Chain A
């Protein structure tokens, strides 16, 4: 029982991280109708920024706050730049060209990191000294609870922003029909840029929590994690914000449970499980758990 609860909490915190990253994928897909495969690499860039900033300034609470803000702003600007340079010129091109460009951007970021920092893993200084609490003999890491809480808050704020504000309504309008939105006086390019800025800032928040839990960074950090988060987004229904949350948390919990409770021989397979879930979901319900069916009118 203790093991079960401890695994459940591990799964929840891992799943929350997936959810946070899946939110970014989902939002960009829902509004700009494109898969930003460089999303996972933005996390990697974020962790490197944190690594350099904390290395230079130390990890006192004040410096940590400054470093985290610098990092999140940096990620947001990076998202903005990527969109302007790589995706905007392709606004009228086929979705396939945009997809391939996204993969290109992903490789570009990885190789830039390789060039600047080398291939070696680096240790990010420990910055959250939270420790653990014990309930009925079960050790609960406070960091896990923090990750869960931050993800829930971010999800609620994002839902309010999209459903209750003018900018949010503009995003929804662009998502429904770019042409019509433009005719209604919505600045489509600015709206898509804003989507990328918010999505990348979310990746920045993800980077802050990711490096607190797994304090290692290399050029390929985040790329596999990003793909699993993408699977979570599809599982929950890509384009849906609560869907990304549910998909991420479910995949996290299932992965942790499989790692701990399956027999040794089978637990080898837990890594591939996220992808298996993705395939099964696409076969049974292509729109995902919470995805809406979209009727194409001719």
Chain B
């Protein structure tokens, strides 16, 4: 009796082990797996979740339209909590799951950390939003967003050529390489064009009162003020600027996006007229953008930000590259796919994009303006 029971148990256990393998084989063999890594929890969680939600919408759309040459896509997103070592573990896990291309990482530090691992595997990598220069340096890695240095150049050209400003005042965060990085390239390009930077007023992460910075700017003959830093500090600057009646036009970097979350109700008028660089504006009348905003809002309850649009565009970039490379199954020739990346141009939510020989995006900048407490697209 005992023996029979033992046999029965062993048969059951064997079945338990074998069945999931069979099940696994059945479902995923014909899908292309897009892996992605970003923070879904922790302080930077909004970025990862936005990218994930944006990508899922693109994947669903493509699958509903029949996939890529008939092959369906599958999104596997893993949390790295914006941590370098967790990103490495996530990457290994995704490779075990049979990842074919990687969209990630969402943030800069984890992206830099996994660079060499991705190079070793040879698969195509596109980061939607890691703006640090070092985040996409290998031949198989590409970037969809502007780099920090490129932002500085773009803002210099916009101010000098489009708006006709000649004298810039800059307020910047000396504790943040994002801010100093933009300042460096901005200064270089703006002076090269023939403009002058009349004052550079630094502040630090602990600065609360910007009165002195505003006074310093008012003491010069600047045409406008450049604000290359994040929205939380910008809100403080705007409070002081309004108290001291600073009358100059203000132009910010993409870190300004979301500033109205800090300035609600009657405070929104502090930011009135502020122009800032952004890859994506939810109020853009473009039909594609409006359709995306509608789908996103229906699924998640609030309007998408630039990260969601970046994630969405990355999936369509991959689709275009795979069609160009003639991918017809999940058995992908990585070299051909990487080569195809340099030949495509994709008209996405964040503008029309192609890639240069270094894998950096070639695309026009968009500028948004705050009017009546809303983000409005500026023709630039």
Contacts and interface: CB of A to CB of B under 8 A. Distances in A.
A221 interface: yes
Central interface residue in B208, B239, B262, B264, by most chain A CB within 10 Å: B208
A232 to B, nearest CB: 15
Contacts, number: 69
Interface stretch (B79-87, B214-222, B327-335, B356-364): B214-222
Contacts of A141: 243-244
Contact of A119 (B43, B207, B218, B235): B43
Contacts of B204: 271
A259 B267 CA distance: 27
Contacts of A143: 243
B200 interface: yes
Contacts of A10: 211-212, 215
Interface residues of A, number: 29
Contacts of B200: 264
B206 A224 contact: yes
B47 to A, nearest CB: 15
A57 interface: no
B43 A267 contact: no
Range for the number of chain B residues in contact with chain A: 20 to 34
A267 B219 contact: no
Given A14-B209, A139-B245, A214-B208, A3 B218 contact: yes
A256 B211 contact: yes
B196 to A, nearest CB: 13
Contacts of A259: 201, 212-213, 216
A141 B215 CA distance: 13
B219 A3 contact: yes
A268 B245 contact: no
A267 B243 contact: no
Contacts of A271: 204, 206-207
A14 B243 CA distance: 14
A169 interface: no
Interface in A73-107: none
A123 B202 contact: no
A277 B282 CA distance: 50
A168 interface: no
Contact of A268 (B174, B244, B264): B174
B49 to A, nearest CB: 16
Interface string A8-49: 001000100000000000000000000000000000000000
Interface string A239-280: 000000000000000011001100010011001000000000
A121 B262 contact: yes
B199 A3 contact: no
Contact of B235 (A7, A121, A126): A121
Contacts of B215: 3, 6-7, 10, 260
A213 interface: yes
Interface string A108-123: 0000000000011101
A165 B39 CA distance: 60
Nearest to A131: B243
Interface string A189-224: 000000000000000000000000111100001001
B74 interface: no
Contacts of B263: 123
A225 interface: yes
A215 B239 contact: yes
Nearest to B245: A139
Contacts of A121: 232, 235, 262
Contacts of A225: 208
A264 B204 CA distance: 14
B324 interface: no
Q: Considering the complex of A and B, which 10 residue pairs feature the smallest CB-CB distances, nearest first?
A: A259-B212, A3-B219, A224-B206, A10-B211, A264-B200, A214-B208, A260-B216, A268-B202, A256-B212, A121-B232
15 contacts: A3-B218, A121-B232, A123-B267, A126-B266, A132-B245, A139-B244, A139-B245, A141-B244, A143-B243, A260-B212, A264-B199, A264-B200, A264-B201, A267-B201, A271-B204
